[in-house]
Amino acid sequence: MKKSEIPFLTATELSEMIQSREVSPVEVTEAYLERIEALNPTLNSYITVMADEAMEAAQAAEVAIGSGGYMGPMHGVPVAIKDQLWTKGVLTTAGSNVLRDFVPEEDAAVVWRLKEAGAVIIGKTNLTEFAITTNHYYPYGMMYNPWSMGHFAGSSSGGSASATAAFMCATSLGEDTGGSVRGPAAACGLAGFRSTYGLVSRYGLLGACWSKDVIGPISRTVADCAITLQAIAGYDPKDRYTSREPVEDFTAALEGDIRGLKVGVVVERVHTDDVMPEIREATLKGIEVLRELGAEVTEISLPLIPETAAFSLVGELVEAASIHHKWIRERLDDYQNELRLTLLMASLIPAQTYYKANQLRAYWREEMLAAFDDVDLMVYPTAPSVAPTVPPPSGLASPEDMKVNFFGRRSFTHPASLVGCPALSVNCGFTEAGLPMGMQIIGRPFEDGMVLRAGHLYEQATPWHKMSPPGFGPGEGED
């Protein structure tokens, strides 16, 4: 295999070839670094490329594997890390000038675990400032969507999605508060998985909202999500919110079938004018694929779901202002204007409003979990529209923008975040304009394997995950 062909392997394929020594971690890492050097100036997916550290890790992996010390599926596999996670000795900005000089003295738990699994950390990816807003100003530049340079890569984990879609890493980590793993995955034609709240440690995460933040994989396939998640999941005494339950084998969970599983189609998120007709049609076709695979499909109603983003954002903003209270007092001018206004506004939200939002969250949790008494999985679009054009809408520019901000795409991804459910976005096709669309599969807390299995089987029955962005695929752009 030519070195230039290596980046187009899935992480799972790459893992198998590294284990069998058909390719070496060093040549794999070199291939990705060469691709990053060629493409990152255009896509701006990375803030920091860790070339020296990556090559050192690749050399160590090569020696270990050569001496019989193979450590598992992630050994020697290059991974991109959202620049919201501490990396020991490496600049970690959270996409903000507030942290333009911050170099952590230790790794985030997930970074440490990836290193323990033998993965090669290849770089830190771009994001919206502190992963809080989709805004116009980026201290480290806008990240672009490989499927269309005129479109955004999708909310705060857009750099990880952009890098993965353009084959500049084998798999990546993002962070999902209200949808920032699933949204970018949908926008960039990828698989993005938000695991059950508490499955993955958040120690070393520069968080946006402690009660909803979840670190998760953005990958080219669901199988790649599974091996990435396997490496980072598990109890961590440094994060008291992590579960002590044994971690299931997510790769093994992909096997088998979904015959007899009950799939609930949420009518308020499918049969609504909020959803682009092309996305509705693609989702309904995706649901039919699940039916053909043996699932029992039924429609269900969740009356509160269209309103969830409104009270979800109230809680999210108050928690963000709390996290940033010291910097708001001491470093306010270092925030870009939109986030500065957002945090100041959030600081003025009355306690009774936050309390009411949490009451509504509890009510919603009861409604969603009760629905799981009748179904095993819920399915509806990941987002009601495709990736927005660059620059993305502010959310603060007008009353109409505010309405979209509080009741639009967020009411598709926030529902699972509020309850702590595992939720997967899979590519379910492309619009006539060639932009990716995402279908969301949601399960009960700690039934992550079931969600991944359904997504994997759907993916294997459809061609979408095999497609590449025009100009960025195998053989394109080469001499």
**Structural domain boundaries enclosing 355:** 3-466
Residues 6+ apart with CB under 8 A from 377: 261, 262, 263, 264, 295, 441, 442, 443, 450, 451, 454
**Residue 330, number of CB atoms within 10 A of its CB:** 10
Residue 471 lies in a domain: no
Query: What angle (nearest 5°) sits at the alpha carbon of residue 174, between those of residues 146 and 121?
Result: 90
List pLDDT tens digits, range 72-109. Answer: 999 999 999 999 999 999 999 999 999 999 999 999 99
> Does residue 251 carry a pLDDT above 90?
yes
Annotated active-site residue 238? The verdict is: no
Q: What is the pLDDT of residue 130?
A: 95
Average pLDDT, the chain: 94
Q: How confident is the model at residue 392 (pLDDT cuts 50, 70, 90)?
A: low
Q: What is the pLDDT of residue 52?
A: 98
Residues 6+ apart with CB under 8 A from 449: 248, 249, 250, 252, 253, 254
Q: What is the pLDDT of residue 139?
A: 86
Q: How confident is the model at residue 399 (pLDDT cuts 50, 70, 90)?
A: low
For residue 248, give the DSSP letter. Answer: P
Q: What is the pLDDT of residue 479?
A: 42
Residue 479 lies in a domain: no
By CB atoms closer than 10 A (0-12, 13-18, 19+), residue 134 is buried
Q: What is the pLDDT of residue 437?
A: 98
Q: What is the pLDDT of residue 33?
A: 98
| Rounded percentage of the chain residues whose pLDDT exceeds 70 | 95
Report the Cα 152 to chain-centroid distance in Å.
15
Return d(Cα 127, Cα 44) in angstroms, integer.
10
Residue 473 lies in a domain: no
Residue 475 lies in a domain: no
Catalytic one of 24, 82, 115, 172: 82
> What six digits make up the tokens of 354?
């936050």
471 φ/ψ sector (left φ>0, alpha ψ -120 to 50, else beta) = left
Angle between helices 399-407 and 308-323 (to 10 degrees): 100
Query: Alpha-carbon torsion 140, 143, 149, 154, what sign?
Result: negative
Residue 477 lies in a domain: no
Q: What is the pLDDT of residue 137?
A: 66
Q: Which residue has the higher pLDDT, 394 or 204?
A: 204
Q: What is the pLDDT of residue 395?
A: 55
Residue 145 lies in a domain: yes
Nearest-Å Rg of the Cα atoms of the chain is 21
Annotated active-site residue 82? The verdict is: yes
Catalytic one of 156, 385, 425, 468: 156
Domain total in the chain: 1
> Does residue 396 carry a pLDDT above 80?
no
> What six digits make up the tokens of 332?
């306010």
> Does residue 364 carry a pLDDT above 80?
yes
CATH of residue 53: 3.90.1300.10
CB 198 within 8 A of CB 420: yes
Determine the average pLDDT of the residues in 237-265: 97
Q: Which residue has the higher pLDDT, 130 or 390?
A: 130
Determine the average pLDDT of the residues in 345-373: 97
Catalytic one of 180, 195, 417, 468: 180
Residue 476 lies in a domain: no
Q: What is the pLDDT of residue 154?
A: 85
Q: What is the pLDDT of residue 398?
A: 60
Q: What is the pLDDT of residue 155?
A: 83
| Rounded percentage of the chain residues whose pLDDT exceeds 90 | 90
Q: What is the pLDDT of residue 118?
A: 98
Annotated active-site residue 180? The verdict is: yes
Residue 40 lies in a domain: yes
Q: What is the pLDDT of residue 477?
A: 52
Rounded to 10 degrees, the C-alpha dihedral 190/196/197/199 comes to -100
Q: What is the pLDDT of residue 457?
A: 98
Determine the average pLDDT of the residues in 389-393: 73
For residue 418, give the DSSP letter. Answer: H
The string of DSSP letters for 291-345 reads: HHTT-EEEEE--TTGGGHHHHHHHHHHHHHHHHTHHHHHH-GGGS-HHHHHHHHH
List pLDDT tens digits, range 41-64. Answer: 999 999 999 999 999 999 999 999
Return d(Cα 211, Cα 313) in angstroms, integer.
12
Return d(Cα 362, Cα 359) in angstroms, integer.
5
